[in-house]
Structure formats: structure tokens, C-alpha cells
């Protein structure tokens, strides 16, 4: 199976995107297709053994829309240029339509209003020279029709294919006005001067001008919804300075190869992902992680494309280039999310599929009903045009994708990568969050927390003995003690006869003393009396710390406590989740006592302890069996099955690639505060979508009866087609403006 994203031009409303999607999903060889109106993209999963990409392009083009073929290397720039050209062309067409539409409106309506400063010339007076009046309107209308010709070419083609869209409604409505006006002009030419009241050129002209204005503003607003992607794309530098034959050479970024050694000076951007080989610096990674503090880097540390080198020169070896860099992966992830559909969008898709034919039928019924009721042909025609124009389903098609685009873009801005519309929607229903302990609630790196001495030995001497003994050990707890001594600037003592005792500790001679370091089991086995520090060791265990006993010449010297310390924001994040009505559960392989101590420290009531890695997904299933909607937050390879099993899998960004691949949401900052932020972003986005759908549906439900003349039956006003056109354009703009309000979303800190 292959997955491709195809750029499509020519779609104007939900009926267009709905038709392309239906045709693609019925095509043999295509497994699943989703078409997004806001991004103008089709995401297609297909079997390359049964259908080729070129054949999929042909299917799309047969439906009447154009496939935009872009070179992948320059796709982003080309797409932006094309959209800029389209927006500029829309504005030009609007200026033409407005330039001729205003005098047309003035000519048609001016005789009804006293104009002391700008009276209509006598030779164009509708009563005295009706034929001149009609011909002048034709002359002014023609350039407007040419400016809006796309509505007719696309709209009538869609009608012929029996898949009418928004353009079809505009084309039918304005064509009816123009044809009837031409017929009235013919009657005037034959001497029937009363036919001057049947001229509707200004309705057609002003409708096209207003819709072109709405489309131009809509295109600008749609551009603003994808600003997050543009920002990310603009981050990558265009060149890199590589070291070849001991010379510095500046080359284009796409010529950098894996293994190249790259020089980066202060203030420069890192061109590709790599590993530092030489130098020390601090790097601003905020554009990837949202973390404002620069991160210190030394030899062996990873660096990422587009991050900014602050204060030192470094050399690094390229490990990922082109589409493999973290930045490129993030851009692809956000683009895929923005192009995907949330399940809530299906409602709009279903409605839009039937909407245009139903509206056309309502317009015809209203037209016929008013004629039967005894109204004039001109009156019935006004109703017919108003219904067609007001009912265009643009707002319906934009309601969901625009909110998803802004929501996922806003998330990326703050280091929260949401992989799909489905994930964005599902997150707002989460009522239970499972947090893996190690590396998620805690730092995942043991640290020395306490030194307790016995028999009059000083803390420094005890730490020096222990660190010297552990220098040769690779155990994480031993390494924590060594780091503790290094941080205090202690010099290490000579050792001999190092012996590792698996599952217990080590035996080694330090500075002439036979030294034991390890757990209670080792001390009991070697006959070391622990009574003096018994209560202290119990206290440490109850606090979730691991006591490391140190004995010299079979005599207890003291305890060094080591613990995987809790992240600074863990307690605050858990408190926030609970305040949102979300139950928090901790899962760990640790024993019940240690797990309980950590849980108590951060405010978690429910703990799954002593859980084997392969059993984590079973614990998720148990909670789901209780009817809960579960989010699993983890960072390790052993978390991947649980991340997949959960309703939403959330990977901590500092974790493994496997965990990030398995997850629906990736938190680049490794900060638990981003979990409630992600859930809140989902809630805000879904609320925004519901508001958009309410206004889009509500507008059409209210607008169509008014346009059909329901109010007129009870003595109310009749809707002028020009006001219908203005209202239709405003409905799309209101949906876009509402979606853009999500840009004001603020993360929790």
C-alpha cells in the first residue's frame, strides 16, 4: 500500500471536494481517499499493483478539477507562489467587477433616489430613453461577466456532469437574471417601454462582484490558517559550511550528505540533524520544542536542523538530511494532520453531497409556487435567484478543515504535534490519562539525593569512597553516585580488585579499605550490621528512594540515597488534569512501595505497579473495559503497544522513535504540562468546529426560507438577490474568522 498527497485546483465548495472524494473512493485500487477543501489536497491510500498514481490523476481530472504537479524539492515554494498568483488574480477580477458594478448599480438604482450632486444624464434616463438605459447596462455588465467567467465555465460543466456545486448555483442564478434582462431589452426595442422594470443586469453584476470580493478575502484568510507550516518551512537554512580536505566550503543544503562534517558559527542556524564532534555551545531549540531556554551542547550531543547556535563554534557530523531531518518530519506530520479529516466533518460531507441539488429543487419550487400564486414573472425570478445565491455551501465546506488547520498549527507552535484530525477530535473526550513513571513523571535518570553517615565518617569521605568504588561500574545507580561526587569536585581514590555482584552490588578495595556497596541483601550476606540506620533506610524506601549501603572492612559507614527524581512540572500537570475532570493513573515496573511513594508525591491515587513491559497494553484494555476513554503517555519502546492500544497515544518527545511513531500526539518538550494543554487545545478546536457548523447550517436553514419569500407571505420584506450574495460571502468569512480565533489559544505553563 502507498500513500500520496495530491494538490488539486478548481474546488470551490464542499460539493466539489465531496464529489472528488466520492469518485476516488469508488475507484478500483484505491483503499481510502480523503479530500480537504481548505488545503485543496487529496490524501490517497492505494494499491500500486492495481492502480498507478498517473491513473489517479486522470480520475481527478475527469471529475473536472486540475491536478497540480509540483517537484517535491520545491513543492512548498511552488505551492506558495501559485496561491499568491491565484489570490492576485482574484483581486484583479474583483477590481474589474467592482469598477463596472458600481456605475451599473448607480445607473439602475439612481433614478429611485434624488441625487442633487450627480444626477443621471437625460439620455440614460430609464423613463425617457429606456433603450439607451438598457444598452448602457449591457455594456457595463459584459466586463463583469467576463471577470466572473469561471463561475460559468466550472458551474455549467459541473451541471453537465450531474454534480452541481456552488459555481452552478451562481451560474444558474445570474444567468437567469441576464437572460431575462436581455428578453426585457428585446421588448423595449420592440416598443414595450414598461419592460424597463424587468431589467436585472445590476443584480447579476453586483452578485458576481460581491462573490468575487468574498472569494478574495476568503483566499487571504485561508492563507493565514496555514501560517504555522509556512513558519516551519521558512526556518531551514539554504546553505551549509562543510569541512572537506581541511577547507571550509559553503554548499546548498540539498547537497549535504550523511557523514559530512559541518561547521556552525555563533548566530548561524544548524543546517541538518547531526552529532557534535567538536566544540561547546548553547543552542536555541525553541522552534522545535517550544522551550525558551537554550540547551547546552558538547561532543556526542545531538543537534537538529533549523535550531540556532547561540554562543560557540561547533563541528558536527550529519546524521539525517533532506526529508529525514526532525524539522522535515514535523512539517510532514503537521501537513498530514492539516490535510486529514476529523470524524465530525462527515456530517458536513453528507449534507453537502445532497445540498446543491436540493437547493436547486427548492428554488424551482418557490419560483413555480409564486407564479401559481399570481405573482409576476419578475417577482418569481427574484425569488429564484435569491434562493440559489444565498444557499451556496462554501461555509459548510470550510467549517471543519479551517479549524483543524489552525488548531494543529497552533499545537506545532508550542511543541505539540497532533498527527491527525481524528486524534485532535478524540483527545477532547479523554477522561483517563495513564502516565508511565520512568522518563514521563520522573526524569528517567537516577540522581543522588541524600547522604547519611555512621561511625563518625564525614559526608565527603563517604561519597569519595563510594564514587571511587563505583567509577568502574556501569550500573545507573552507581553512575548517579559518581556524578554526585564530580558535582562536588571530589577527587577519586585508587582502587583494586573490583568485583561486580549481580543483583546485589560491588566488592572493591578503595584506598586500602575492603569496601562493599549495594543493597540490604548484600549486607546481610556479608554479615554487616544495619541496625544503626534501620529507621533511616525504611524512611528512604517509603519516599521512593533507593538506599545504597556502604560498608568498609565489614562495618557500616552510611547510606547514599539515589532516586529517579520527579520532573519539576509533573505535580502541577497532574493537578491540572484532575481539575479538568480527568482521572490520572500511574503505571510502572517498580515495586508497590516505591511506586506508591512517587504517586503520593505527585498527587496520583491509582497506581498499577510491578507491571511487566509487555503487560502495559493489557492494563489499558482493562480501563477501556470500564468504559473509559484512555490516553497513554509514555516514552519508551516498551510503551509502544500501550500507546497503540489507548484511545490516544501521547509520546514524550525525548523518548524513542518507536514510541513517537506509535503515538497520535507527540510532545516535543517532554513536559507533562503539555498533556492538559493538548487536551484543552482539542476541546477548543472541537468547540470552534461546532460553532462553525452551527453558523454554516443555521445560516442556510434560516436563509433559504427568507430568500424563498416566507416572510413576504406574512407582509414582511422580500430578500434582494444582491443582499443574498453579500450574506453568502459573509457566511464563509465568518467561519474563517471564527477559526482564526484559535490563534489566540494559550498553552498551560
Query: Per-residue pLDDT tens for 139-189?
Result: 999 999 999 998 898 888 888 877 777 788 788 888 888 888 898 898 889
Say whether both 540 and 485 belong to one domain. yes
**Alpha carbons within 13 A on the beta-carbon side of 721:** 32
Place of cell 571550509: 248
| Number of structural domains the chain divides into | 5
Q: Order of strands, edge to edge, in the sheet holding 41-46?
A: 30-36, 41-46, 2-9, 66-68
Say whether both 430 and 573 belong to one domain. yes
Residue 728 above 80 pLDDT?
Answer: no
Q: Residue 576's pLDDT is what?
A: 94
Question: What percentage of the chain carries pLDDT values higher than 90?
Answer: 26
Has residue 740 been placed in a domain?
A: no
The whole-model pTM stands at 0.71
Say whether both 37 and 86 belong to one domain. no
Q: Residue 143's pLDDT is what?
A: 95
Q: Residue 462's pLDDT is what?
A: 93
Mean pLDDT of 452-466: 91
Say whether both 612 and 514 belong to one domain. no
Which three-class secondary structure state does DSSP give residue 749?
coil
End-to-end CA separation in angstroms for the chain:
42
Tell me the β-bridge partners of 240.
251
Q: Alpha-carbon distance 319 to 274, whole Å? A: 5
**CATH number, domain containing residue 62:** 3.30.70.100
Residue 81 above 80 pLDDT?
Answer: no
- As a whole number, the mean pLDDT across the chain is 84
Per-residue CA distances from 644 to 176, 312, 634 (Å): 56, 41, 11
Residue 207 above 60 pLDDT?
Answer: yes
Quick count: other Cβ atoms within 10 Å of Cβ 626? Answer: 8
Helix axes 476-487, 459-470, angle to 10 degrees: 130
User: Cβ distance 743 to 410 under 8 Å?
Assistant: yes
Which of 292 and 725 is assigned the larger pLDDT? 725
Domain range enclosing 288 = 236-320
User: Cβ distance 257 to 107 under 8 Å?
Assistant: no
Q: In the listed set 305, 320, 335, which residue is the last one of a domain according to the structure?
A: 320
Say whether both 202 and 214 belong to one domain. yes
Where do runs of H (alpha helix) occur along 491-542?
520-525, 534-542
| Catalytic residue from among 260, 284, 349, 436 | 436
Residue 707 above 90 pLDDT?
Answer: no
Mean pLDDT of 276-287: 85
Q: For 460-512, what is each residue's pLDDT tens digit?
A: 999 999 999 988 777 778 888 999 999 999 999 998 888 888 778 889 999 88
CB under 8 Å to 377, separation ≥6 — which residues? 180, 198, 371
Residue 575 above 90 pLDDT?
Answer: yes
Phi, psi of 565 (to 5 degrees): -75, 150
Checking DSSP bridges between strand 432-436 and strand 630-634, what pairing results, if any? Answer: parallel
Has residue 348 been placed in a domain?
A: no
Q: Alpha-carbon distance 57 to 44, whole Å? A: 11
Task: Read off the pLDDT band of 271 (50, 70, 90).
Answer: very high
User: Cβ distance 317 to 260 under 8 Å?
Assistant: yes
Say whether both 78 and 32 belong to one domain. no
Q: Residue 682's pLDDT is what?
A: 92
**CATH number, domain containing residue 473:** 3.40.1110.10
Radius of gyration for the alpha carbons in the chain, expressed in angstroms and rounded? 35
Q: For 104-121, what is each residue's pLDDT tens digit?
A: 888 877 655 555 555 677
Q: Which of 174-188, 205-219, 547-561, 705-719 has the highest mean pLDDT?
A: 547-561
User: Cβ distance 584 to 607 under 8 Å?
Assistant: no
Has residue 329 been placed in a domain?
A: no
Has residue 488 been placed in a domain?
A: yes
Has residue 254 been placed in a domain?
A: yes
Has residue 349 been placed in a domain?
A: no
Q: In the listed set 267, 286, 320, which residue is the last one of a domain according to the structure?
A: 320
Mean pLDDT of 49-68: 89
Q: Residue 580's pLDDT is what?
A: 94
**Which secondary structure element, helix H or strand E, spans residue 138, and what is its range?**
helix 130-147
Nearest partner of 517 among 460, 561, 470, 586, judged by Cα: 470
Q: Residue 625's pLDDT is what?
A: 93
Say whether both 527 and 626 belong to one domain. no
Where do runs of H (alpha helix) occur along 603-740?
616-625, 640-645, 657-662, 674-707, 710-713, 721-740
User: Cβ distance 377 to 418 under 8 Å?
Assistant: no
Q: Residue 595's pLDDT is what?
A: 83
Has residue 183 been placed in a domain?
A: yes
Q: Residue 606's pLDDT is what?
A: 92
**CATH number, domain containing residue 435:** 3.40.50.1000
For this structure, is 436 an active site residue? yes
Say whether both 432 and 508 belong to one domain. no
Q: Alpha-carbon distance 329 to 544, whole Å? A: 38
Q: In the listed set 225, 252, 273, which residue is the last one of a domain according to the structure?
A: 225
Q: For 626-670, what is each residue's pLDDT tens digit?
A: 999 999 998 766 677 888 899 999 988 755 565 567 788 888 887
Say whether both 105 and 192 belong to one domain. yes
Say whether both 42 and 81 belong to one domain. no
Residue 248 above 80 pLDDT?
Answer: yes
Q: Alpha-carbon distance 240 to 238, whole Å? A: 7
Q: Residue 228's pLDDT is what?
A: 61
Which three-class secondary structure state does DSSP give residue 236?
coil
CB under 8 Å to 603, separation ≥6 — which residues? 571, 574, 575, 578, 584
Q: Residue 4's pLDDT is what?
A: 85
Q: Residue 316's pLDDT is what?
A: 94
Q: Residue 577's pLDDT is what?
A: 95
Place of cell 413576504: 712
User: Cβ distance 235 to 287 under 8 Å?
Assistant: yes
- CA 694, 695, 696, 700 dihedral sign is positive
- CA 459, 460, 463, 469 dihedral sign is negative
Q: Residue 183's pLDDT is what?
A: 86
Residue 334 above 90 pLDDT?
Answer: no
Say whether both 507 and 555 belong to one domain. yes
Has residue 374 been placed in a domain?
A: no
Residue 226 above 70 pLDDT?
Answer: no
Say whether both 261 and 217 belong to one domain. no
Amino acid at each position: 500500500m502507498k500513500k500520496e498527497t495530491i494538490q488539486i485546483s478548481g474546488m470551490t465548495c464542499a460539493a466539489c471536494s465531496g464529489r472528488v472524494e466520492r469518485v476516488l473512493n469508488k475507484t478500483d485500487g484505491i483503499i481510502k481517499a480523503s479530500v480537504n477543501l481548505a488545503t485543496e489536497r487529496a490524501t490517497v491510500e492505494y494499491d500500486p499493483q492495481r492502480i498507478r498514481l498517473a491513473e489517479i490523476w486522470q480520475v481527478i481530472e475527469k471529475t473536472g478539477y486540475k491536478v497540480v504537479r509540483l517537484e517535491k524539492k520545491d513543492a512548498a515554494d511552488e505551492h506558495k507562489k501559485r496561491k499568491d498568483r491565484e489570490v492576485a488574480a482574484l483581486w484583479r477580477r474583483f477590481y474589474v467587477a467592482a469598477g463596472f458594478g458600481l456605475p451599473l448599480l448607480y445607473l439602475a438604482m439612481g433614478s429611485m433616489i434624488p441625487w442633487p450632486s450627480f444626477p443621471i444624464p437625460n439620455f440614460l434616463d430609464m423613463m425617457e430613453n429606456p433603450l439607451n438605459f438598457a444598452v448602457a447596462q449591457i455594456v457595463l455588465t459584459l466586463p463583469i461577466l467576463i471577470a466572473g467567467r469561471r463561475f460559468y465555465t466550472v458551474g455549467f460543466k459541473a451541471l453537465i456532469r450531474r454534480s452541481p456545486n456552488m459555481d452552478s448555483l451562481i451560474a444558474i442564478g445570474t444567468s437567469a437574471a441576464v437572460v431575462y434582462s436581455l428578453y426585457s431589452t428585446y421588448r423595449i426595442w420592440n416598443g414595450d417601454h414598461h419592460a424597463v422594470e424587468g431589467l436585472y443586469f445590476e443584480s447579476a453584476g453586483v452578485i458576481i462582484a460581491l462573490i468575487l470580493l468574498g472569494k478574495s478575502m476568503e483566499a487571504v484568510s485561508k492563507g493565514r490558517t496555514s501560517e504555522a507550516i509556512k513558519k516551519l518551512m521558512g526556518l531551514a537554512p539554504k546553505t551549509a559550511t562543510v569541512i572537506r580536505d581541511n577547507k571550509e566550503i559553503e554548499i546548498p543544503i540539498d547537497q549535504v550528505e550523511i557523514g559530512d562534517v559541518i561547521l556552525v558559527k555563533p548566530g548561524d542556524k544548524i543546517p541538518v540533524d547531526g552529532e557534535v564532534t567538536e566544540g561547546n555551545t548553547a543552542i536555541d531549540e525553541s522552534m522545535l520544542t517550544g522551550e525558551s531556554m537554550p540547551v547546552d551542547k558538547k561532543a556526542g550531543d545531538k543537534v537538529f536542523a533549523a535550531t540556532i547556535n547561540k554562543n560557540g563554534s561547533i563541528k558536527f557530523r550529519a546524521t539525517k538530511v533532506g526529508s529525514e531531518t526532525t524539522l522535515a518530519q514535523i512539517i510532514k506530520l503537521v501537513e498530514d494532520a492539516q490535510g486529514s479529516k476529523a470524524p465530525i466533518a462527515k456530517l458536513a460531507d453528507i449534507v453537502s453531497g445532497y445540498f446543491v441539488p436540493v437547493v436547486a429543487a427548492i428554488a424551482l419550487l418557490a419560483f413555480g409556487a409564486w407564479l401559481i400564486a399570481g405573482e409576476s414573472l419578475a417577482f418569481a425570478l427574484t425569488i429564484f435567484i435569491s434562493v440559489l445565491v444565498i444557499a451556496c455551501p462554501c461555509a459548510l465546506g470550510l467549517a471543519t478543515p479551517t479549524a483543524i488547520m489552525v488548531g494543529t498549527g497552533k499545537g506545532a507552535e508550542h511543541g505539540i504535534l497532533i498527527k491527525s484530525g481524528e486524534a485532535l477530535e478524540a483527545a477532547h473526550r479523554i477522561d483517563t490519562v495513564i502516565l508511565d513513571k520512568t522518563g514521563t513523571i520522573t526524569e528517567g535518570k537516577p540522581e543522588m539525593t541524600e547522604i547519611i553517615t555512621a561511625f563518625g565518617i564525614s559526608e565527603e569521605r563517604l561519597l569519595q569512597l563510594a564514587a571511587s568504588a563505583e567509577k568502574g561500574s556501569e550500573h545507573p545507580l552507581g553512575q548517579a553516585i559518581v556524578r554526585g561526587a564530580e558535582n562536588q569536585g571530589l577527587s577519586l581514590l585508587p582502587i583494586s580488585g573490583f568485583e561486580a555482584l549481580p543483583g546485589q552490588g560491588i566488592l572493591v578495595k578503595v584506598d586500602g579499605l575492603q569496601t562493599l556497596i549495594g543493597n540490604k541483601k548484600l549486607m546481610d550476606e556479608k554479615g554487616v550490621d544495619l541496625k544503626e540506620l534501620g529507621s533511616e533506610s525504611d524512611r528512604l524506601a517509603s519516599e521512593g528512594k533507593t538506599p545504597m549501603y556502604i560498608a568498609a572492612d565489614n562495618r557500616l559507614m552510611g547510606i547514599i540515597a539515589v532516586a529517579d527524581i520527579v520532573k519539576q512540572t509533573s505535580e502541577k500537570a497532574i493537578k491540572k488534569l484532575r481539575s479538568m475532570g480527568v482521572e490520572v493513573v500511574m503505571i510502572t515496573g517498580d515495586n508497590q512501595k516505591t511506586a506508591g511513594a512517587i504517586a503520593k508525591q505527585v498527587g496520583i491515587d491509582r497506581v498499577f505497579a510491578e507491571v511487566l513491559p509487555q503487560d502495559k497494553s493489557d492494563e489499558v484494555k482493562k480501563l477501556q473495559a470500564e468504559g473509559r476513554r484512555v490516553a497513554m503517555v509514555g516514552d519508551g519502546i516498551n510503551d509502544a503497544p500501550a500507546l497503540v492500544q489507548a484511545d490516544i497515544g501521547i509520546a514524550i518527545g525525548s523518548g524513542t522513535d518507536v514510541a513517537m511513531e506509535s503515538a497520535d500526539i507527540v510532545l516535543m518538550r517532554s513536559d507533562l504540562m503539555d498533556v492538559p494543554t493538548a487536551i484543552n487545545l482539542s476541546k477548543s478546536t472541537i468547540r470552534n468546529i461546532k460553532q462553525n457548523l452551527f453558523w454554516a447550517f443555521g445560516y442556510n436553514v434560516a436563509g433559504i426560507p427568507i430568500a424563498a419569500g416566507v416572510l413576504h407571505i406574512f407582509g414582511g420584506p422580500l430578500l434582494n438577490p444582491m443582499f443574498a450574495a453579500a450574506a453568502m460571502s459573509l457566511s464563509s468569512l465568518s467561519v474563517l474568522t471564527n477559526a482564526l480565533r484559535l490563534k489566540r489559544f494559550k498553552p498551560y505553563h
